[in-house]
Amino acid sequence: MGQAFDSNKYLKAQREAIEDGLSRFDDRLYLEFGGKLIDDFHAVRTLPGYEANNKLKLLLSLKRKVGVIFCVSAKQLSGGKIRGDSGESYEETTISVLKDLREFDLEIEGVVINRYEGEKEADNLVRRLKLMKIRVVKRREIKNYPKNLRLTISEKGFGSDEYLRVKNKLIVVWGAGPGSGKLSTCLGQIYHEEKRGENSGYAKFETFPVWDLPLEHPVNVAYEAATADLGDFSLIDPWHWQAYRIKAVNYNRDVGSFPIIKKMFSRILGKNNFSKNYQSPTDMGVNRLSVGIIDDDKIREAAKKEICFYWYRYLEEYKRGIIKKQVLGRMQKLMKEVGINEEYLATVMPARKIEGAAIELKSGEIVVGKNKKLLRAEAAAILNSLKILAGIEDEYKLISESVLKEILKFNKNIGRNRESLTASEALLALAVSGRDNPLAKRALGKLKDLKNCFMHSVLDLKAADKRLFWRLNLWTTTDGK
């Protein structure tokens, strides 16, 4: 699938929107970031041409220096919350994200641990962050937040929390995942700064749903698919319609909480602050994503593939006992809305036909791999794809049979009684073979061309292969046999 999204065009419009928001405040703007700041692969798959680190590029291109506050919930830490995309715990996600931010030269203002009530897991994270020389603030849970406004906006509510002193005018507030307390952190910081006589404000950067695309557009339905485990859904923003008679798409949590948020701004900020005058949840956003869409037909097709991709991800999680069956019911409804089923991915039926694996190359060609004595189906499909990409005739072997047998023999010696090699083992063998075999070296050079391709396997995937496919950005679905 060719490019359907112009990242440069989008970034220009998005930068102008954020700069405009910054110009409205004398002191500071807290910009709540929804979704992923780094490696936004949902956007990559849904919008062909979108770059995974567009948001990062955006922040680094702004005229003013940016500071980042990272939020994590003590309750999610103690509950062992795992990210569905990477498989990391929220503690490990926090550490790896902060290392990435430093690598990209974004200033970390600090980490806020929300809903803290003495959890040992939170204390452990604090120790690790202090070793990294990162400031940490622990905020306790406010009873009946956010409905109890009198308590929340008082010296016993936000006033009892430690204020995280920040340096920059633009503060990006990001979190480990939904429920990390980003909005509460923004409001708490603004509360303290208002008491200091400072003019700070709030805006929200939520990539999806896209407010100025139709509610039924596959991109907005794909957002619902990506959050089906949370029960999120898109709807027409009633507050925006009431204020402007303009249809705008938002999601249920923002729409439901808006009256309370508006009252909070009114009580914290007084009469003359721009944030207090937001008339709708959509007003709070600075999303300009639709500007980058240059081929709507391709975008619609990609979004439908993304919905199908999530169907298989949830199916796998259901079999592992991670999610409830109602999530699958929700996904079936979403697929029906856009007119697809689980066979929409072009890789599914070819893989099932041979009881193996299939990869769809960027050219649209489908390459299959069967389960063999020496190689698992995924490994065979990848090697066959590399041959085609490198222009190597099928009759030529990239890895000698003796090398494959030696690896299998080694596996048995260390207690891995596998009948065939995994994809990660096969690619390691290919890399070693490239030293003496020029065809293997040529094939290995084409590995990067599998980026953003889809693969389906009838087999349950090995853990090491899952990590490999994620690093390759090879999007894999499975029947889980």
Q: 136: domain CATH number?
A: 3.10.630.10
Based on the fold, state whether residues 282 and 358 are members of the same structural domain.
no
Question: Which of 39-43, 78-82, 98-102, 366-370 is predicted with the least confidence, judged by mean pLDDT?
Answer: 78-82
Per-range mean pLDDT, top range of 69-83, 191-205, 270-284: 191-205
Per DSSP, which regions of 351-432 are E strands?
357-360, 366-369
Based on the fold, state whether residues 402 and 273 are members of the same structural domain.
no
107-134 per-position pLDDT tens digit: 999 999 999 999 999 999 999 999 999 9
How high is the pLDDT of residue 89? Answer: 81
Any domain includes 334: no
| Structure tokens, 63 | 């005229």
Residue 417 has pLDDT above 70, yes or no: no
- CB 9 within 8 Å of CB 51: no
Average pLDDT over residues 278-285: 90
Q: How confident is the model at residue 413 (pLDDT cuts 50, 70, 90)?
A: confident
Any domain includes 329: no
Contacts with 435 (C-beta within 8 Å, 6 or more apart), sequence order? 441
CATH of the domain at 442: 3.40.140.40
Based on the fold, state whether residues 157 and 222 are members of the same structural domain.
yes
Based on the fold, state whether residues 141 and 217 are members of the same structural domain.
yes
How high is the pLDDT of residue 87? Answer: 61
| Structure tokens, 62 | 């702004």
Residue 163 has pLDDT above 80, yes or no: yes
| Chosen domain end from 292, 324, 358 | 292
Based on the fold, state whether residues 195 and 76 are members of the same structural domain.
yes
| Chosen domain end from 272, 292, 312 | 292
The C-alpha torsion from 195 through 171 and 207 to 317, rounded to 10°, is -90
Q: How confident is the model at residue 273 (pLDDT cuts 50, 70, 90)?
A: low
Based on the fold, state whether residues 170 and 244 are members of the same structural domain.
yes
Average pLDDT over residues 85-90: 68
How many domains, in total, are found in the chain? Answer: 2
Residue 272 has pLDDT above 60, yes or no: no
Based on the fold, state whether residues 352 and 261 are members of the same structural domain.
no
Residues 199-223 as b or e (16 or more Cβ within 10 Å = b): bbbbbbbbbbbbbebeeebbbbbbb
The owner of tokens 């930068």 is 15
Chain-wide mean pLDDT for the chain?
A: 90
What DSSP line would sit under 194-225, residue for residue? HHTT--EEEEEE--SS-TTS-TTSHHHHHHHH
> Using CA atoms, how far apart are residues 330 and 320, in angstroms rounded to an integer?
18
> Using CA atoms, how far apart are residues 72 and 108, in angstroms rounded to an integer?
14
Average pLDDT over residues 315-320: 90
321-360 per-position pLDDT tens digit: 888 999 999 999 999 999 999 999 999 999 999 999 999 9
Higher pLDDT, 159 or 272: 159
Residues 90-117 as b or e (16 or more Cβ within 10 Å = b): bbbbbbebbeebeeeebebbbbbbbbbe
Nearest of 235, 208, 192, 157 to residue 45 by alpha carbon: 208
Asked if the peptide bond before residue 146 counts as cis, ω within 30 degrees of 0, the response is yes
Any domain includes 443: yes
> Using CA atoms, how far apart are residues 477 and 347, in angstroms rounded to an integer?
9
Based on the fold, state whether residues 97 and 239 are members of the same structural domain.
yes
344-402 per-position pLDDT tens digit: 999 999 999 999 999 999 999 999 999 988 899 999 999 999 999 999 998 888 988 88
Any domain includes 308: no
Based on the fold, state whether residues 42 and 120 are members of the same structural domain.
yes
Any domain includes 22: yes
How high is the pLDDT of residue 454? Answer: 98
Does the reported pTM lie above 0.85?
yes
Any domain includes 337: no
Q: How confident is the model at residue 1 (pLDDT cuts 50, 70, 90)?
A: low
Instruction: Give the chain's count of helices (H) and strands (E).
Output: 20, 12
Any domain includes 338: no
Residue 27 has pLDDT above 90, yes or no: no
Average pLDDT over residues 246-257: 91
Q: Which domain holds residue 178?
A: 7-292
Any domain includes 335: no
Based on the fold, state whether residues 470 and 396 are members of the same structural domain.
yes
| Chosen domain end from 292, 307, 331 | 292
Based on the fold, state whether residues 256 and 364 are members of the same structural domain.
no
Based on the fold, state whether residues 250 and 385 are members of the same structural domain.
no
How high is the pLDDT of residue 231? Answer: 87
